[in-house]
Amino acid sequence: FPLPFTIPNTAGQPAGITNAGGSYMHIVSQAALNSGISNCCFVAADGLCANAANHFSRMTTDITTGPNAVTLSFWWLCGGGNNNYGEVYYSVNGGSSWTLVSSPIAQYRNQSSWVQQNISLPEFSNRPTLRFGFRFVNNVTANAQDPGFGLDDITIVEDGAVVNGITCSVPAPLTFCQGTSLVVPFTATGSYAPGNVFTAELSDATGGFLAPVAIGSLASQSSGSIACVIPPATMVGTGYRIRVVASDPATDGAPNTADITVEAAPYAGPDAQVTLCKNTGTYALLDLLGGSPSPCGAWTDASGSPFSGMFDTDADNAGVYTYTTNCPGPCPQDMATLTIALENPANAGNDVNVQLCSNAPPTDPISFVAGGTLDGLFFYQGQTTPLPDFSVAGVYELDYVVYGQGPCENDTASMVITVVAGPEAGTNNTVTVCANAAPFQLFSFLGGSPDLNGTWTGPTGQPSSGTFNPSTSQPGLYTYQVPGIPPCQDDQAFVAVVVDPCLGIAEMPSESAPRWLGQQGGVHFFQLDRSGPVHTEVRDATGRVVPASAGYDQGRALVEMNGTTGLYFIRFERAGEAVSVRFLHRSE
């Protein structure tokens, strides 16, 4: 449970302390901070509620001292007790180890009001590296008192050494535009290391250097002038100051003595490049420059002619467009260029609905792209492969995608391909029947898998029932036609019917029978059993005689004829013997 406690006030600071009553370095207990109290106080270690602890504060950088006497000076107070006190340390090796300063005081305690302490030891002189630290020791005790260990106005002074300092001036007039260049002369006193850099800093608009802005620098060990630039983004104001600081040793210079005014300068923005997609509308060029350009300006196009500043990707040309400010005030105007490139948009064309026949030749859907470029990809059910088999009836929905380049978006066209089942009339065939044979169905002699919904026509084009009666039907070429559903065309197949009288005409023995060897051009070749005069006669499938000329050469007959494609018969007769041979003639 919480216990009440009282923390006495810390003694006021005397006038000898710089900025007396201001901030100072001191110990404060966590319990006090939790209660909103931040003066110099501590909780003495008792081994129960508060453990023993040491608190060490030290310099983070070294100083270099010469042969003269060096004095560490500080104001301090500490109530403490025999086991609770402050200590002073120094290090000559960058803080790797520390030495307690025991003279003139080893333990700083029993002092509740501010006093000044000066320490000058031979060990402080001629040191390339020297730094100091302060420690508060809080050991277990039964008798201690506030305040804790507090310090202020800590200084290190070498006798006869010149204290580093920097002053600067800003030439009149003290009014500058944003982005303006200026030269800041400065005077540096003291000693600076070889790698030192002087930097000119600009305050905020009220003259404060809480967050200064570097505006120029100079690597030097002595006084000089720094070329500076007022940052273009500096806020407009009338209370700016400039100071010069050094890096080695770290030294903050005094600000110049008069207020500086910063006025707004026209700003055209940074030069920029942009790629736009054609036919995507109108763009405000000022928005494409970037930054925050001043609106009080005008545009010219690539030819130097005045331009509205609104770029139409349908009508305007690519090129370099220039924006030049024309703002009121004494500050110089500004100019920026915007280089515009135009990219052709992706074009997949129009949506398409296509009908195909399943028995059509193999089809590439790229041939159906309507008005688009041919460099895209087809997607079917979200994938580029496999595409549908267009020989199978069905409805296939594809997306044709052309990918855009640069800022251009992809373009997609929908393609619906409807595949209609094609008609099937079967395959052609030839049948020879005797004149006294029984009637039969022509359909049974079609090859393949013909559809059942076709119709028959006879050799002269007349309709036929599809039943052939050898004793009454006309021999010849019968056509079976199956109607196609658009876009499919009708399909046809043929059955050539030959009616043989079967009168017992003597045939040559099989081993000596003429043989058809084939056709070359309009000439048919037949192998005969022997040479010698032969009478030939050619008839078509209806029995009509067909004009033909025949010649003989070394046991072969060469028969030349003209006629439509179909089945024909040739009759060879010699010495009272006759034989017929069937052959197929193809018209050229």
Domain ranges of the chain: 25-158, 165-263, 272-343, 352-420, 429-500, 510-585
CA 501 to chain centre: 85
Predicted local distance difference test score (pLDDT) of residue 503: 56
| Structure-token match 């005008």, residue found | 298
State which CATH number among 1.10.3720.10, 3.40.50.11540, 2.60.40.10, 3.90.1150.10 fits the domain covering 429-500: 2.60.40.10
- Say if residues 77 and 71 touch (Cβ distance below 8 Å): no
Residue 59: left if φ>0, alpha if ψ -120 to 50, beta else—which one?
beta
Cβ neighbour number for residue 419 with a 10 Å cutoff: 23
Classify 349 as helix, strand or coil. coil
HSE of 441, CA atoms in CB hemisphere, 13 A: 5
Indicate the Cα dihedral angle 536, 538, 543, 545, nearest 10°: -90
- Given a contact cutoff of 8 angstroms between Cβ atoms, the answer to whether 288 and 282 are in contact is no
What kind of fold does domain 25-158 have according to CATH? Jelly Rolls (2.60.120)
Predicted pLDDT at 162: 73
Domains 165-263 and 352-420 agree in fold: yes
Instruction: Give the pLDDT score at 315.
Output: 93
The two structure tokens encoding residue 280:
């995507």
Q: What is residue 508's predicted lDDT score, i.e. its pLDDT?
A: 43
pLDDT score for 252: 94
Rg (CA), the chain: 57
**Among 455, 441, 443, residue whose Cα is nearest residue 491:** 455
According to the model, what pLDDT value does residue 510 have?
Answer: 47
pLDDT attached to residue 533: 65
Predicted pLDDT at 505: 42
Evaluate whether 224 touches 186 at the Cβ level (below 8 Å). Answer: yes
Would you state the pLDDT for residue 284? 95
Q: Which of 322, 284, 288, 318 lies closest to 305 in space, CA to CA?
A: 322
Tokens 């280089």 sit at which residue?
339
Q: Which two tokens stand for residue 384?
A: 């580029």
Residue 519 has a pLDDT of 86
CA–CA separation, 289 vs 285, rounded Å? 7
Question: In angstroms, rounded to a whole number, what is the distance separating the alpha carbons of residues 91 and 60?
Answer: 11
Q: What's the distance, Cα to Cα, between the start and end of the chain in Å?
A: 120
Q: What number of CA atoms fall less than 13 Å from residue 85's CA on the CB side? A: 13
- For residue 354, give the amino acid letter: V
Query: Domain spanning 352-420 has what CATH number?
Result: 2.60.40.10
Query: What's the DSSP call for residue 285?
Result: H
So what CATH class is 510-585? mainly beta
3-state secondary structure of 288: helix
Name the CATH topology of 272-343.
Immunoglobulin-like (2.60.40)
Check residue 93 and report its DSSP letter.
S
Burial of 360 (0-12, 13-18, 19+ CB in 10 A): middle
CATH code for the structural domain at 165-263: 2.60.40.1930
CB 322, CB 302: distance < 8 Å: no
Task: Supply the pLDDT for residue 161.
Answer: 67
CB 357 within 8 A of CB 422: yes
Structural tokens at position 555:
């046991």
Measured CA distances, 468 to 455, 465, 501, 503 (Å): 14, 8, 16, 20
421, two tokens: 């089942």
Give 37's contacts (C-beta < 8 A, 6+ positions apart): 7, 28
User: For the chain, which ranges sit under pLDDT 50?
Assistant: 1, 504-510
What is the distance between the alpha carbons of residues 77 and 86, in angstroms, rounded to a whole number? 9
pLDDT of 420 reads 96
* Alpha-carbon span 89 to 412, nearest angstrom: 79
The DSSP code sequence of 432-488 is EEETTPPPEEGGGG-BS---SS-EEE-TTS-EE-SEE-TTTSPPEEEEEEEPPPTTS
